[in-house]
Amino acid sequence: MFENLSVFENRYEELNMKLYDPAVAADRNLYRDLMKEHKEIEPIVEKYRALKKAEASLEDAEAILNDSEADKELRQMASDEMSAAKSDIESISEELKILLLPRDPTTKTTAVLSWKFAAAQAARKRHCSPITFTACTTCTPKSAAGKRRSSA
Specify the amino acid at residue 148. Answer: R
Q: Measured between alpha carbons, how far is residue 129 from residues 104, 108, 117, 147 in Å?
A: 31, 31, 19, 16
Q: Cα angle at 120 between 115 and 126, to 5 degrees?
A: 130
Give the pTM: 0.64
Pick from 42, 53, 54, 56: nearest CA to 8: 42
For residue range 42-75, list pLDDT tens digits in order: 999 999 999 999 999 999 999 988 887 878 888 8
Helix (H, G, I), strand (E, B) or coil at 98: helix
pLDDT higher than 60, residue 139: no
User: How many helices (DSSP H) and strands (DSSP E) are in the chain?
Assistant: 5, 4
> What number is the average pLDDT over the span 107-136?
54
Residue 132: what pLDDT? 47
